[in-house]
């Protein structure tokens, strides 16, 4: 756990909007050095200007987190400027919906690249750096937070790529927690599983690579996008509130971080069915109208 953030360094991917930007704001207010990472240059520039105005030392880099070489260059730049980071927030994410058999190879590569490989690169590059710093100083403390989703704990229909990516992040992060416990008591880990929170993820299309951006969406993808935009846009919990939860978890060595604890009823139902060997239930069990509306839209009722 980290109790004093002043002078510590945070690496934040997806820092131009949503949870990344809000965590950067908290970090700046607490006197942290900030490494801001985003693929969208204008959002990155705005975040950098805001954090520097707030008095933070900032290293801003436009990086595609799915690209190993770009992430390796980022890690080298971070080490040269600030040394080992104390907080790594592997947060960059994109969303894509549609019936699972309708997604193209390019769809799969894009979402898995950002949502899963981005986390993998963040872990493989920064954790060894953090372990090295911890070995040199018994007082050194660090923390890694990976952003998954409630979709990583549930299996909502018509968003299979996203579910698969986030489920992998859940497994990766739980395993990372166990692996860290084997080798050190100085580095903590958290898994962020937000539900519907107003962030930029519903507009992920803005950052699609050129070849994918030109693909014509299927009917199920259009329906999924519209429903996602409505659900995310109507969310009552803000990204700023979730960011506060992220920092609370760092301070208290808390692993699971949720935006909507009431949604865990759906997770409980799923786990009980798995143990009982019962066929999967409606993942929106507590909000059955969601599944009913989706079914009606897809069947043209």
CATH of the domain at 87: 3.40.50.720
Instruction: Using the predicted structure, report yes or no on whether residue 301 has a pLDDT greater than 70.
Output: no
- Cα separation, 299 vs 301, whole angstroms: 5
Q: How confident is the model at residue 30 (pLDDT cuts 50, 70, 90)?
A: very high
The confidence score (pLDDT) of residue 219 equals 86
Specify whether the backbone of 158 is left (phi greater than 0), alpha (psi in -120 to 50) or beta: left
Q: What is the mean pLDDT of residues 99-112?
A: 94
Identify which of 65-74, 218-227, 282-291 has the greatest average pLDDT: 65-74
The confidence score (pLDDT) of residue 282 equals 84
The confidence score (pLDDT) of residue 237 equals 85
- Its domain, for residue 141, covers 9-262
Q: Token pair 């079914």 is at which residue?
A: 295
- Cα separation, 62 vs 261, whole angstroms: 34
The answer to whether residues 225 and 294 touch, using CB atoms and an 8 Å cutoff, is: no
Inside any domain, residue 286: no
Instruction: Using the predicted structure, report yes or no on whether residue 173 has a pLDDT greater than 90.
Output: yes
Q: What is the mean pLDDT of residues 50-76?
A: 98
Candidates 162, 177, 256, 258; catalytic one: 162
For residue 98, the 8-state DSSP code is B
User: Of residues 203 and 162, which shows the higher confidence score?
Assistant: 162
Inside any domain, residue 70: yes
Q: What is the mean pLDDT of residues 7-29?
A: 97
The confidence score (pLDDT) of residue 210 equals 65
- 3 state SS of 23: helix
* Mean residue pLDDT across the chain: 92
162 a catalytic residue? yes
- How many degrees, rounded to 5, is the angle at CA 293 between CA 288 and CA 294? 100
Q: What is the mean pLDDT of residues 114-135?
A: 98
* pLDDT tens digits, 128-171: 999 999 999 999 999 999 999 999 999 989 999 999 999 999 99
The confidence score (pLDDT) of residue 188 equals 98
Q: What is the mean pLDDT of residues 89-109?
A: 93
* pLDDT tens digits, 238-290: 999 999 999 999 999 999 999 988 889 889 999 999 999 999 988 887 778 88
Q: How confident is the model at residue 212 (pLDDT cuts 50, 70, 90)?
A: low
Inside any domain, residue 4: no
Inside any domain, residue 274: no
User: Of residues 216 and 131, which shows the higher confidence score?
Assistant: 131
Provide the domain count of the chain: 1
Q: How confident is the model at residue 205 (pLDDT cuts 50, 70, 90)?
A: low
Specify whether the backbone of 60 is left (phi greater than 0), alpha (psi in -120 to 50) or beta: beta
Reference 118, options 18, 218, 15; nearest CA is 15
Starting at the earlier edge strand, list the strands of the sheet with 33-38: 58-62, 33-38, 9-13, 87-90, 142-147, 187-193, 256-258
């Amino acid at each position: 756990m980290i109790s004093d953030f002043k002078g510590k360094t945070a690496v934040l991917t997806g820092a131009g909007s949503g949870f990344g930007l809000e965590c950067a704001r908290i970090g700046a207010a607490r006197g942290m050095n900030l490494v801001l990472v985003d693929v969208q240059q204008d959002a990155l520039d705005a975040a950098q200007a805001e954090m520097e105005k707030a008095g933070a030392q900032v290293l801003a880099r436009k990086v595609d987190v799915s690209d190993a070489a770009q992430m390796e260059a980022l890690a080298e730049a971070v080490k040269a400027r600030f040394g080992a980071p104390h907080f790594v927030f592997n947060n960059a994410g994109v969303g894509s919906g549609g019936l699972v058999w309708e997604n193209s190879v390019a769809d799969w590569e894009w979402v898995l690249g950002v949502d899963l490989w981005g986390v993998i690169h963040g872990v493989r590059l920064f954790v060894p750096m953090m372990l090295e710093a911890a070995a040199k100083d018994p007082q050194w403390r660090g923390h890694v937070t990976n952003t998954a989703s409630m979709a990583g704990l549930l299996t909502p229909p018509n968003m299979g790529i996203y579910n698969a990516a986030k489920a992998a992040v859940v497994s990766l992060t739980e395993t990372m927690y166990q692996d860290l416990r084997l080798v050190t008591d100085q580095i903590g880990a958290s898994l962020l599983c937000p539900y519907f929170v107003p962030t930029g993820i519903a507009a992920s299309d803005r950052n699609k690579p050129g070849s994918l951006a030109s693909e014509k969406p299927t009917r199920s993808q259009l329906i999924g996008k519209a429903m996602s935009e409505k659900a995310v846009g109507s969310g009552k919990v803000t990204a700023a509130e979730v960011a506060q939860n992220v920092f609370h978890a760092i301070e208290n060595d808390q692993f699971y971080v949720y935006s909507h604890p009431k949604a865990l009823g759906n997770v409980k139902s799923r786990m009980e069915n798995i143990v009982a060997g019962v066929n999967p239930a409606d993942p929106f069990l507590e909000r059955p109208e969601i599944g009913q509306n989706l079914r009606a839209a897809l069947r043209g009722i």
